[in-house]
A = this chain, B = another copy of it.
Amino acid sequence: MSDLLERLRTRGWRLTAQRRVVAQVLDGDHVHFTADEVHARAVELLPEISRATVYNTLGEMVGLGEVLEVSTDGRAKRYDPNAHHAHQHLVCQSCGTIRDVHPLGDPLGALPTAERFGFAISGVEVTYRGLCPDCAAKA
């Protein structure tokens, strides 16, 4: 799991207990926690960590490109540590579950030059919405 911490340290990041804990919470695949969920889990490992620190740390990780920020529902932002493999998200409209998915083709290429209006395009996000099998069964 220390890949993330290792990369950050070589970029001059000061290694504090708090940052270690946040990185540890974000460890793993298919993790899409909100900031408050990260905080709640961090508190179990380091009871005195403050909410502001979690927000700061997440913000820095995003700035360094090590974590992706996704806002799939207009409510709390979620943090996705899987920043080094291009992927998109599939969200259940009922329970909010998020899955990483890999569509075919390059969505960036689908936008013709005439439709770019002179913008320098740097990225694209695709969010599929639907009902997960569990919620579909309940409905």
Residues of A within 8 A of B (CB): 69, 71, 73-74, 77, 90, 92-93, 99, 101-105, 107-108, 110-112, 115-133, 136
Contact = CB atoms under 8 A, between A and B. Distances in A.
A126 B126 contact: yes
A121 B110 contact: no
A115 B129 contact: no
30 contacts: A71-B71, A71-B74, A90-B115, A90-B117, A90-B121, A93-B122, A101-B111, A101-B115, A102-B115, A103-B107, A103-B110, A103-B112, A104-B110, A104-B111, A105-B110, A107-B126, A108-B128, A116-B130, A117-B133, A118-B133, A119-B132, A119-B136, A120-B130, A121-B128, A121-B130, A122-B130, A123-B128, A124-B126, A125-B127, A125-B129
What are the 3 tightest A-B residue pairs by CB atom distance, in nearest-first order? A71-B74, A121-B130, A103-B110
